């Protein structure tokens, strides 16, 4: 049976994901180190893990597989989930697949090297927009349906 896993720390689309899970009657796991308001939705399970680097990521990666969808902006977690057969979506609706994860990891590593080489380098990503939210909703709905078909096979 398919499930949605949310890497919830700093996730701006938890409510949207919950709507998709409810519409599709799919279990959703919201995984974080704490500090989140619990959902009263019976399909949503709040999972609070211990503090520590990558504890939430490890909890997700250890449980996902074929037929599941993971929502994360964490590229190493995305790679582990794809390796386990899950589908992965970033918060802005970008789909991460086995075909593009290598390039995404390489770009992440390059940007990390550039930032460490220039400690005065400022900046960040662009602000999260309504268009990103809309793109996410559409992508999650599509990927969940595909995952449900995969899980049923």
Global model pTM greater than 0.85:
yes
pLDDT at residue 70 greater than cutoff 90: yes
Q: At what angle do helices 101-117 and 75-83 cross, to 10 degrees?
A: 160
pLDDT in tens, 2-54: 999 999 988 899 999 999 999 999 999 999 988 888 899 999 999 999 988 88
Q: What is the mean pLDDT of residues 95-100?
A: 92
How would residue 97 be classed by pLDDT, with cut points 50, 70 and 90? Answer: very high
Domains in the chain, start-ordered, CATH in brackets? 3-152 (3.40.50)
Number of C-beta neighbours around residue 14 at 10 A? 19
Mean pLDDT of 85-101: 93
Q: How far is CA 58 from CA 45, 52, 54, in A?
A: 17, 11, 6
């Amino acid at each position: 049976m398919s499930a949605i896993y949310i890497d919830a720390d700093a996730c701006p689309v938890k409510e949207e994901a919950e709507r998709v899970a409810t519409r599709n009657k799919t279990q959703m796991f919201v995984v974080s180190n704490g500090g989140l308001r619990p959902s009263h939705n019976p399909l949503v399970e709040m999972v609070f893990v211990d503090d520590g680097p990558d504890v939430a990521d490890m909890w997700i990666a250890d449980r996902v597989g074929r037929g599941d969808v993971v929502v994360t902006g964490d590229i190493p977690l995305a790679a582990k989930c794809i390796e386990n057969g899950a589908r992965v979506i970033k918060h802005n609706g970008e789909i991460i697949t086995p075909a593009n994860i290598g390039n995404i990891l390489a770009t992440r590593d390059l940007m990390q090297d550039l930032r460490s080489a220039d400690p005065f380098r400022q900046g960040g990503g662009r602000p999260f927009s309504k268009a990103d939210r809309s793109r996410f909703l559409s992508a999650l709905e599509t990927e969940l349906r595909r995952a449900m078909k995969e899980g049923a096979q």
